[in-house]
Structure 1
């Protein structure tokens, strides 16, 4: 992960997204500034009513000139109307631009996910990734929505109100200005101290999201093993940590408002005492003193607002850090599609060495496969069977040696071009929420209904689909739990057939079904492997007796190669595996 960004760097990363919708943003912010001009004028206009009353009582024998007061009230009404209208229009434009900005950021996160190496997802918790695309973006959205206009407004208020205060009385304004550094020191000092607490709060939220995701994804196992209490304890730990970090962050931020308010009240007391003396001496009018007291609160508002919004701002800063450090991560460097492959004639592993870290998991792997051959990969758990196919798909790159297709190193292909050659049928089936038709078309978006039906018939799943009320439009739920494991496996085979790949990888595709369904699956697999180069990671050795080449792996090495009869005749590792499996049946 990249280093932590400074606040300015976060804003620099955010600006290009805001820039795309800057017209509406600038209109909204202009209206915010207009509202602050009105906000600065209103106390003076209101004070004119008090000054008028003071004048009439002192110099016109209490004869109140109502026409002048009504005139002032009319001006106030017009000002209020302009202010309210500006608020509505500003809110519309700011909301629209900010929400479109958040949409763009979410799309960038999604695009980033598609360009990260598989290694990142192997090492990263799913909940943390979900937290970035949901919680972090939403935190930033809320902060911009709630704070951007208020921060801009606070800055404008400070300058406009300062100007109006200087117009009334210089000495009283200087008294207020003496207090401002103390208010700022308290506010920003507490903000600086509380920022690490908000970082911890955001991290706790990510851990809590991971915990919730784990609990729901493993719900069946939790219930089956009666581990509800243990699951509750795990959640309680994450939830309690969230409570603690949230309390520390919010409490530290909450100290700002009462501390600054205390200084403000003392300042108002001093100004009121001095101002009364000025009114009595005739230096200023009573309405001007009234307006000035209002201005003290108004000029305190920027700092008070910053203190009130500090939690949102700091949470947004933490969220921006996580988002933009994620978006700044190194992506996979892809190549242009310069190499053209029309037919896959040979696949060769040439002295391949690989390991996830410093330690090698695989060394000196060499073999060659010709077009249409079936290659079975067998061996105990952890032998490196799936790693072998992951290297073929370039989910990881080899440390030494090379993997070649038609004599060309696969690192010369673009990822898209390489993976377009493959079809996958895995033990852990993946179907998304949607219709069966949409799930099957995932392998070939250009396919029509006739293509889908043909592939389904070849995969022995057409009859099952027709037994469903909705047929091919029947919906698969989010987890795919409304379809049996065997039928899901047949659907993934149909999906692979629809893609019509040149190379097929079947990773223990029949290991999780009963023997009744295994025959249907085996027939479907035979269909999908016809005239294709196939790699079969086998759990049940009975399924690979007709393979053209069997690779026996152990501890990341190929220890035996050959056909079924040849390997049995050697009475080596394959012979032991085969007999051990059938002796248990």
Structure 2
């Protein structure tokens, strides 16, 4: 993606606020003009006063201070100052409004996009990477726009006006100033290139230190248990020593920029002062213009330094824009729907010669055929990588089959609206998900139109009502961001209650009793049985003792059904399921 196209695409968000954007640019130009005019206006006063004092010293008849002229020039100077202050404040105010509104729209676009792209996208990208695109990348673009845009405008306008003013005042001296511009720029760029690797290394080491601190704080009990305090302190000391070293080098390299740039300005100043003094003595230039020239020499350095420093910021913004637009350019999940559901599903599911592969030429599921009647409980077992979760992903249309078809109540699910189709499902996963909010809000997530009475009934059916009432605030207790203020088993009961409230026709259960105590496991199993009554259920089973009542048990291996039947028939066959069950039984007995 070309840099030019990136910033053109960013204009799509800025153009909605172009009135305030152009107003900010206009005010910044006004402030820059007022700033550049300052030495010239002061030069008029100095020239007039010098002339008046010389006339008085030479006893020229009628000589004296021209108070009227000086007064009006000072009035102009004051008006110029007001324009400068108003332009500087107003430009910052309006650019802030423009940028914040545009970034808000960009964030909204990302939020809308994330709800449209397929689930497969999230399988290919790490959570931290996605989070970075939404937070730090957007913030980098925001900072670059708000802090850099007007500075670039100011630097360009100031440089142009300064060059115009020195050319107007004296062409010969102007050439000295103009020659100093590329010299100053090259010096700044050279220092930046030298310092940039140190700043990058400093950022990396700082990240290492933050990660080390977080890791040691979260595992502090383990550190104490194994007596690793001294080793941890020594490792932290190594990191801080490295951070101190690279931090010093980065600061030193960056710190010498101003002395070098000031040195170039001082040399230019000396040359201008020498040549200008000779021209004043020759009567070719006024003292006021000389002082203006001197000030313009110092005004040259700042915009060049700003432009040099902003190059890195703009480069970071470009990289962030690439990452942001990569998300926005992702293809949306296909929304085709040639068939509609006349009513709720009954739950009849058919897998018809299904083939599927995540990676081309690497098939995972082959020749998979299955008939599930309404209300049946189907358990899916098998070793890791057998394809259990993949089957669920296909059923939910998180992925589409490569070959064959999946039908529900006779409808090919590829011809149904994903949104309407998925409303017929309920899911209780091994990793229970609750969000920051009250318990009541979390339960209502399954059915936004549910009344308080319906919520309580669902909680009672899930054996979680009593627990909720013992909490401070009851149903109105606030869950924290990670819902760590309740136990894992209690979270599972809440997700079951949420699924009950949604009243789905087809259930997907990733058995979640492996990490809880026996008493809570029994409560969860009872709640799950109530949840499955009258509904077609697909259960990914880890503990085989929990699926003995399943109507069908599918034993998967390498994406194919190698055994199928109920618990008793599979045990009597003494095949793979028998070996798996007996190994678990012997482990539990031990």
Equivalent of residue 540 in structure 1, options 535, 539, 543? 543
What's 1:499 paired with? Answer: 502
Structure 2 CA distance for partners of 1:260 and 1:320, relative to 1, 3 Å: farther
The alignment partner of 2:397 has SS state of coil
Structure 2 CA distance for partners of 1:7 and 1:439, relative to 1, 3 Å: same
Contact 1:249 1:311 in 2 (8 A): no
Query: Following the alignment from structure 1 to structure 2, what is the Cα–Cα distance between the partners of residues 353 and 237?
Result: 54
Equivalent of residue 350 in structure 1, options 334, 352, 356? 352
Structure 2 CA distance for partners of 1:231 and 1:540, relative to 1, 3 Å: farther
What's 1:327 paired with? Answer: 328
Quote the offset at 1:301 in angstroms. 2.7
Contact 1:195 1:314 in 2 (8 A): no
The alignment partner of 1:380 has SS state of coil
Does residue 142 of the first structure (1) align with residue 143 of the second (2)? Answer: yes
Query: Following the alignment from structure 2 to structure 1, what is the Cα–Cα distance between the partners of residues 307 and 572?
Result: 81
What's 1:490 paired with? Answer: 493
The alignment partner of 2:448 has SS state of coil
What's 1:481 paired with? Answer: 484
Quote the offset at 1:348 in angstroms. 1.7
CA deviations on 1:469-521 (whole Å, 9 max, x unpaired) are 21110111122121112111110001111111111100012222222112211
What's 1:281 paired with? Answer: 282
Query: Following the alignment from structure 1 to structure 2, what is the Cα–Cα distance between the partners of residues 6 and 234?
Result: 43
Equivalent of residue 447 in structure 1, options 450, 460, 473? 450
CA deviations on 1:403-432 (whole Å, 9 max, x unpaired) are 222333322233323322211101111111
Query: Following the alignment from structure 1 to structure 2, what is the Cα–Cα distance between the partners of residues 332 and 467?
Result: 45
What's 1:26 paired with? Answer: 22
What's 1:339 paired with? Answer: 339
Contact 1:508 1:537 in 2 (8 A): yes
Quote the offset at 1:244 in angstroms. 9.0
Query: Following the alignment from structure 1 to structure 2, what is the Cα–Cα distance between the partners of residues 412 and 529?
Result: 27
Higher mean Cα deviation, 415-424 or 89-98?
A: 415-424
Does residue 510 of the first structure (1) align with residue 513 of the second (2)? Answer: yes
Contact 1:127 1:210 in 2 (8 A): no
Quote the offset at 1:27 in angstroms. 1.3
What's 1:56 paired with? Answer: 52
Higher mean Cα deviation, 148-157 or 406-415?
A: 406-415
What's 1:434 paired with? Answer: 437
Contact 2:205 2:242 in 1 (8 A): no
Structure 2 CA distance for partners of 1:65 and 1:226, relative to 1, 3 Å: farther
Contact 1:131 1:209 in 2 (8 A): no
Query: Following the alignment from structure 1 to structure 2, what is the Cα–Cα distance between the partners of residues 406 and 206?
Result: 57
Quote the offset at 1:327 in angstroms. 2.9
Higher mean Cα deviation, 221-230 or 15-24?
A: 221-230
Does residue 570 of the first structure (1) align with residue 573 of the second (2)? Answer: yes
Structure 2 CA distance for partners of 1:215 and 1:478, relative to 1, 3 Å: farther
What's 1:521 paired with? Answer: 524
Query: Following the alignment from structure 2 to structure 1, what is the Cα–Cα distance between the partners of residues 441 and 186?
Result: 60
What's 1:404 paired with? Answer: 407
What's 1:91 paired with? Answer: 92
Structure 2 CA distance for partners of 1:356 and 1:514, relative to 1, 3 Å: same
Higher mean Cα deviation, 467-476 or 404-413?
A: 404-413
Structure 2 CA distance for partners of 1:17 and 1:508, relative to 1, 3 Å: same
Equivalent of residue 428 in structure 2, options 425, 428, 436? 425
Query: Following the alignment from structure 2 to structure 1, what is the Cα–Cα distance between the partners of residues 532 and 508?
Result: 9
Quote the offset at 1:402 in angstroms. 2.6
Contact 2:378 2:552 in 1 (8 A): yes
Quote the offset at 1:202 in angstroms. 11
Query: Following the alignment from structure 1 to structure 2, what is the Cα–Cα distance between the partners of residues 125 and 472?
Result: 34
What's 1:459 paired with? Answer: 462
Contact 1:440 1:494 in 2 (8 A): yes
Quote the offset at 1:81 in angstroms. 2.0
- List runs of 5+ in structure 2 lacking aligned partners: 59-63
Structure 2 CA distance for partners of 1:345 and 1:137, relative to 1, 3 Å: closer
Contact 2:350 2:406 in 1 (8 A): yes
Contact 1:202 1:318 in 2 (8 A): no
Higher mean Cα deviation, 346-355 or 555-564?
A: 346-355
Higher mean Cα deviation, 12-21 or 180-189?
A: 180-189
Query: Following the alignment from structure 2 to structure 1, what is the Cα–Cα distance between the partners of residues 460 and 575?
Result: 40
Q: Within 5 Å, which residues of 2 pair with 1:169-184? A: 169-184=170-185
Structure 2 CA distance for partners of 1:556 and 1:201, relative to 1, 3 Å: farther
The alignment partner of 1:20 has SS state of helix
Query: Following the alignment from structure 2 to structure 1, what is the Cα–Cα distance between the partners of residues 74 and 232?
Result: 65
Structure 2 CA distance for partners of 1:245 and 1:404, relative to 1, 3 Å: farther
Query: Following the alignment from structure 1 to structure 2, what is the Cα–Cα distance between the partners of residues 216 and 455?
Result: 42
Higher mean Cα deviation, 170-179 or 496-505?
A: 170-179
Structure 2 CA distance for partners of 1:220 and 1:149, relative to 1, 3 Å: same
Quote the offset at 1:132 in angstroms. 2.1
Query: Following the alignment from structure 2 to structure 1, what is the Cα–Cα distance between the partners of residues 125 and 252?
Result: 31
User: RMSD over aligned Cα, in angstroms?
Assistant: 3.4
Quote the offset at 1:375 in angstroms. 0.6
CA deviations on 1:91-150 (whole Å, 9 max, x unpaired) are 211111111222222222333333334343333332222222222222222222221111
Query: Following the alignment from structure 1 to structure 2, what is the Cα–Cα distance between the partners of residues 296 and 280?
Result: 21
The alignment partner of 1:429 has SS state of coil
Does residue 158 of the first structure (1) align with residue 159 of the second (2)? Answer: yes
Contact 1:204 1:245 in 2 (8 A): no
Quote the offset at 1:216 in angstroms. 9.4
Contact 1:175 1:271 in 2 (8 A): yes
Does residue 377 of the first structure (1) align with residue 373 of the second (2)? Answer: no
Structure 2 CA distance for partners of 1:222 and 1:78, relative to 1, 3 Å: farther
CA deviations on 1:293-344 (whole Å, 9 max, x unpaired) are 212222333212212333433332332233233433x224312443222324
Query: Following the alignment from structure 1 to structure 2, what is the Cα–Cα distance between the partners of residues 356 and 216?
Result: 38
Contact 2:378 2:554 in 1 (8 A): yes
